[in-house]
Each structure stands twice: as structure tokens, then as C-alpha cells.
Amino acid sequence: MHNLLQVVAPQHEKAMQVSDDALKQRIEQTLQADPSLNSSEITVQSVNQGVVLLGGTAKTLSAHLRAVEVAAGVPGVRRIASEIQSPETMADAEIWRDPKPQSPSEGHGVGDTASDIWITSATKMRLLADSETPALDINVDTLSGVVTLFGIVSSQEAKAAAEADARKVSGVKRVENELQVVASAKQAAGKVRDEELERMVKKAFDTPDLKDISIEVKNGVVRLTGTVPSGGRRLEAAVAARSVPGVRAVEDDLRLEAV
């Protein structure tokens, strides 16, 4: 969710090429149509050969990630870079704080919201690390500890794996699995060699905020090591790595910088 994120969506790798101006218009229309972004002011600053730069302001860190995910889903987009401004410091404290149980007398309030944000982020991290789930095609929403999964997956096995991942997250009370199973068209197999995959991931990480992360690839699994300044940056690194065509899973061994 967060400040400078690059995404290369595998399902759009072979998408029909369009002019940068037409692609910019498509992205702007898609962002405007997303109700979760109504309170934010996200702009498309530029499009250059399918590489999109987003700007503006996001009301929440979740809205920031949503904007990146929405833009990445537009056919023709090769990569997303974000300079969106969002309340990163406050949101990080909420997202990466373990949810604390409340007594019944406390009711629902800010603590519940913080826990829900944490649960959503933790669920997404588990999905990204699971080679059995198409993590970037699965949407996660949490309300009062109840996780709802929605989107499209290609098999019942993937649907079940996503639900199992969500149930493993601390603080989850129940999982509503609304994923739809739609068999995907057969794709040319052709495994990407680890050396080539590592090169592609490093290219996706060629930004000021991600370039210092160390990357290792073995059998299509990307291992990330190093230090990042925030939980938000940690999640965006995992998303960027998993978004590269050919990546099966992401092992997150990143550490947060000491404050």
C-alpha cells in the first residue's frame, strides 16, 4: 500500500498495445469509477510506453494501494510507479500492530478499524507468499474481524487455498469466501529460468525505495532480504515481486529499520 510501487500484471503481458494517451484516459476512467477512491484525489501524471506514474493524494494508505492495484489491472499497463501522497506514518502504525483483543464493554471503535487494517494486510501477505493462490486477482476486505475474499480464481483448489491462508491470520473471526471459479484459458507453459526471473524482478525494483533490497530466485520463488523503513514498503516490495510474470511465490525476509 504505498509510496513508490511498481506492478507488472502477468495476465496483461500479452494485452493489446494502445497509445499512451488512450491508456491514460482508460486509467483515469477506471480510477474514477472505483467507489473506494471517492474520498481521494488520485491523478495519472504520465504514461510512457505503458509505464504509468500516479500522483495526487490518498485519504488512507489502503486507498493508495487500491489505486495502484486498479491502475495495474488496466489492459496495456506494463508497470506502475506511484508518487501518491498518503498518511504513511499513521497507517503503518495501524497496519503492522498486532490486533489487541477488546473487552465486550469497549464496543467498536478505532481499535477495531486498526485491527481490520492489520488483518487485511496480513492476509494479503499470506496470499502473496502462497504459490497456490493468484494473489493479485484476489481482493480482501475486513470488517470487525470478518474477512471477505472476492475476485476470480481458476480452480476450486485455489479458492480453498486462499480461504485457508485467511483463516491462519491472527484476529480473524470468520472468512466469507466469495471467490468465483472461472477456468482460465490454457497458456503456453514455458518456465522462466531463475536467472531471467531474477533480472526481471530487479528491473521491477529499480526505484529509489526498492533498489536496495536483495533478491534471490530459486525454482520461481523470490526471496527478499534487507531492511525497509516501514511496513508499507515491505508490503509493496512483496506485491511488486509477485507481480512479475513467472514468479510462483515470495518469501519475505525483510526487516524493519530500527526507530
Task: Please check the confidence at residue 38 and state whether its pLDDT lies above 80.
Answer: yes
* Per-residue pLDDT at 107: 43
pLDDT top residue among 11 and 209: 209
Domain range holding 198? 194-256
pLDDT top residue among 224 and 104: 224
Mention every residue, 6+ apart, whose C-beta is less than 8 A from residue 67: 31, 34, 37, 40, 42, 54, 58, 82, 84
Last residue of a domain, which of 181, 209, 243? 181
Task: Please check the confidence at residue 5 and state whether its pLDDT lies above 60.
Answer: no
Rounded to the nearest integer, the mean pLDDT of the chain is 76
Last residue of a domain, which of 65, 86, 107? 86
Q: For residue 69, what pLDDT band results from cuts at 50, 70 and 90? A: confident
- Pair (141, 81) in one structural domain: no
Residue 132 lies in a domain: yes
Q: For residue 91, what pLDDT band results from cuts at 50, 70 and 90? A: very low
Task: Please check the confidence at residue 41 and state whether its pLDDT lies above 60.
Answer: yes
Mention every residue, 6+ apart, whose C-beta is less than 8 A from residue 196: 246
Last residue of a domain, which of 158, 181, 204? 181
- Pair (94, 154) in one structural domain: yes
Looking up residue 57, the CATH number of its domain turns out to be 3.30.1340
* Per-residue pLDDT at 7: 42
The radius of gyration of the chain from alpha carbons, rounded to an integer in Å, stands at: 18
Residue 93 lies in a domain: yes
Instruction: For residue range 8-31, list pLDDT tens digits in order.
Output: 444 444 444 578 899 999 999 999
Is the pTM above the cut of 0.75?
no
Residue 217 lies in a domain: yes
Q: For residue 147, what pLDDT band results from cuts at 50, 70 and 90? A: very high
Residue 188 lies in a domain: no
Q: For residue 184, what pLDDT band results from cuts at 50, 70 and 90? A: low
Residue % of the chain over a pLDDT of 70:
78
- Pair (98, 174) in one structural domain: yes
- Top mean pLDDT of 83-97, 114-128, 210-224 is at 210-224
- Pair (173, 100) in one structural domain: yes
Task: Please check the confidence at residue 159 and state whether its pLDDT lies above 80.
Answer: yes
Task: Please check the confidence at residue 174 and state whether its pLDDT lies above 90.
Answer: yes
In angstroms, rounded to a whole number, what is the distance separating the alpha carbons of residues 66 and 35? 11
- Pair (72, 54) in one structural domain: yes
Average pLDDT over residues 136-152: 87
- Pair (177, 200) in one structural domain: no
Instruction: For residue range 112-129, list pLDDT tens digits in order.
Output: 544 777 788 888 888 888
- Pair (111, 170) in one structural domain: yes
- Pair (115, 174) in one structural domain: yes
Q: Domain count for the chain, please give it.
A: 3
Residue 4 lies in a domain: no
* Per-residue pLDDT at 62: 67
Looking up residue 200, the CATH number of its domain turns out to be 3.30.1340.30
* Per-residue pLDDT at 158: 93
* Per-residue pLDDT at 187: 38
In angstroms, rounded to a whole number, what is the distance separating the alpha carbons of residues 240 and 228? 14
Among 53-62, 74-83, 105-114, 202-211, the minimum mean pLDDT is found in 105-114
Task: Specify whether the CB–CB gap between 139 and 150 falls below 8 A.
Answer: yes
* Per-residue pLDDT at 25: 93
How far, in Å, are 115, 122, 162, 251 from residue 71 at the CA level?
27, 22, 23, 25
In angstroms, rounded to a whole number, what is the distance separating the alpha carbons of residues 239 and 234? 9
Residue 170 lies in a domain: yes
Residue 24 lies in a domain: yes
